[in-house]
Structure 1
Amino acid sequence: MTRALAEAHSERAGAPHAAGAPLARRRRRIDLLPYALVAPFALFVVLLAIVPAAWTIGLSFFHDAALDPPVRFAGFQNFITAFSSSSILQSSGNTVVYMVVGVVLSTIIGTAAALLLQTSFRGRSVVIAVLILPWALPGIVAGLIWVNVFDANTGLLNSVLTSLHVITDYRVWVGDNRLLTVFLIELVQVWQMVPLSALLILAALQNVPDELYEAARLDGCSGWALIRRISVPLARPGIAIAAVQSVVATLNIFDQPYALNGQADAGASLTMQTYFVSFQNLDFGQGYALALVIAVATVIVSFGVLKLVYRQVEY
């Protein structure tokens, strides 16, 4: 009798635990679900971003040249040797010019285009679709298109300028003068970057309430005052993102100068020199060092531009 009562008591005592066990397991599965969903993306980032970055950082301090084995620790020698080269120093200067011209022009033109597209008009969707086309082109394709524009013998630019009597003879536009070469190559990249900048800034402008414009008009604000006091300040998050993407694109420019000017130093960028050092000279240690310099410069300049331009907006 006592044993039967004890067994019945134990069954009643264990019943809640038995009923609660599936619920606890279900809760554990639900808690693990977000991690399971994020895991593939996290693995992708680790394998394709963090691991190569760590590999680059590590090997940039080693002498790794296929024509001068074996691999050995070199400290900062790769950086010193790389930046002792006149070609790399000139390419660094070119890259700075690419960045300054590209960021300024793409941001200003992108902001102007976004302000024009902010108002509704007939054919607006068609204009936006056409605007996206340059951005959709690969950089090497855009470069080859503009080769026909700048060609010294049959180029469209020479043809138009001679027809308008601006110049009397056909000229070499790309490759003759260093600053002109860099500027014209960067114009091609700006032509490609402006659509994305305009769309990013336009997205920020679409979030500005119409009531703010109506109230400003009632207070007597002109169109220019609306742009200066409402549109541009409230679109600064979008402008900041557009400027940062321009920084990343210009500091890593490769396709346009390679298509327009080949391997000539006049328009070479630091990314091009990284390619030449790594795959032509087969000095992978210096290539890793240059890649690390470009990556660090991109992060620092992007952060600086973000801090300079970005402001939190509250409506």
Structure 2
Amino acid sequence: MSAGLAEVTRPEVPGAEPSARRRHRPSRSGPLAYVLVAPVLLFIAGLALVPAVFTIVQSFFTVNALDPPTRFSGLANFRNLLADDAIRSSMANTLLYVVIGVALSTVLGVAMAVLLQRPFRGRSFVIAVLILPWALPGVVEGILWSGIFDPNAGLVSSVLGDLGVGGDHLLLGQDRLLTIFLIELVQVWQITPLSVLLVLAALQLIPDELYEAAQIDGCSRWGVLRSITLPLARPGIAVCMVQALVATLNVFDQPYVLNGAASTGATVTMQTYFVSFQNLDFGQGYALSLMITVLTLVGSLIIVKAVYRKVEL
């Protein structure tokens, strides 16, 4: 009986490769692929790498139009910057901008993305309107909000007057914390739309089957948000926080337009402008730019390490 059984084998098609060999066959890319990519690489190198290397090198030199010639100074630029009271004050201000901006834009971005997660009538219109603050230049936003914060005819002054709150209603320039908070609100108004889009893109990748299973199990909305939505949206939240960190560390337009050169709201980026183009000390300007770049990289790595998690479904 067993001798009569024939072994069933899959017939091979003449000239066809085995499936295993076909799956593991290495892909061959000719020189054309490198030729096509070369212009992009050259553009990136010319736009980013060359200025970065130039900034790093020049930060260790004395480059001052009022004190020629250019000469090597080692760490003198960094020591002089850290000993400057105006620089230290701007660093403390920038830290407050970062804390307020990253926290508010992330919380608002997650909340608004969750509200926009499910399709509803008019959602496309809401998203289009939401993008407008992000599309406006920072200088234009500063001018718009300067009218709102105007102590004589601004919206805030009118509201405070209607509420019977006394005082001159001069909001910017007097109290340091209030000035930084109000200026950062303007920047949060600008960067939050991008945070919403980044988190919303992550939410769209979550399968509906997970929500259906949670609903069958009787999970509450808060439980769904805490156990499904937020954990699976962590990659988008991490990117959202990184872009907020980069924007707040490099904030310039809003403080300069709303508060001028006053020390109550000055940032490190503003001090870079003052040192380089008012004092004509480009060596210290390069050094301060390098410090901002290093802080941005370190902060971004910390956020990615703490928040980002690979999602496996």
TM-score of the aligned structures, taking structure 1 as reference length: 0.89
Shift of 1:219: 0.4
Shift of 1:169: 3.5
Aligned to 2:97: 98
Aligned to 2:192: 194
Aligned to 2:48: 49
Shift of 1:82: 1.2
Distance of 2:124 and 2:168 partners within structure 1:
39
Aligned to 1:244: 242
Aligned to 2:156: 157
Q: Deviations over 1:185-221 (max 9, x none)?
A: 1111001111000000000000000000000010010
> Does 1:235 pair with 2:227?
no
How many equivalent pairs are there?
286
SS in 1 for 2:116: helix
Distance of 2:90 and 2:103 partners within structure 1:
20
Unmatched segments (≥5 aa) in structure 1: 1-28
Aligned to 2:288: 290
Aligned to 1:183: 181
Distance of 1:301 and 1:213 partners within structure 2:
34
Aligned to 2:299: 301
Distance of 1:88 and 1:35 partners within structure 2:
46
Distance of 1:193 and 1:58 partners within structure 2:
32
Shift of 1:85: 0.9
Q: CA contact under 8 A between 1:162 and 1:169: conserved in structure 2?
A: no
Aligned to 2:61: 62
> Does 1:118 pair with 2:89?
no
Distance of 2:142 and 2:193 partners within structure 1:
17
Aligned to 1:280: 278
Letter in 2 for 1:78: N
Unmatched segments (≥5 aa) in structure 2: 1-27
Aligned to 1:107: 106
Aligned to 1:208: 206
Shift of 1:30: 5.5
SS in 2 for 1:120: coil
Identity of aligned residues (%): 60
Distance of 1:204 and 1:300 partners within structure 2:
24
> Which structure features the higher share of helix residues?
1
Shift of 1:33: 1.6
Shift of 1:83: 1.5
Q: CA contact under 8 A between 1:61 and 1:77: conserved in structure 2?
A: yes
Letter in 2 for 1:294: I
Aligned to 1:131: 130
Please list every run of at least 4 consecutive aligned residues from structure 1 whose deviation after the TM superposition is greater than 6 angstroms: none
Q: CA contact under 8 A between 1:82 and 1:88: conserved in structure 2?
A: yes
Distance of 1:252 and 1:72 partners within structure 2:
29
Letter in 1 for 2:76: Q
TM-score of the aligned structures, taking structure 2 as reference length: 0.90
Aligned to 2:223: 225
Distance of 2:108 and 2:296 partners within structure 1:
22
Distance of 2:122 and 2:299 partners within structure 1:
38
Distance of 2:167 and 2:276 partners within structure 1:
40
> Does 1:262 pair with 2:260?
yes
When structure 1 is superposed on structure 2, of 86-95 and 149-158 the one drifting more is 149-158
Q: CA contact under 8 A between 1:162 and 1:170: conserved in structure 2?
A: no
Shift of 1:161: 1.9
Distance of 1:30 and 1:199 partners within structure 2:
36
Shift of 1:153: 1.4
Letter in 1 for 2:216: L
Provide the aligned C-alpha RMSD in A: 1.1
SS in 1 for 2:280: coil
Aligned to 2:171: 173
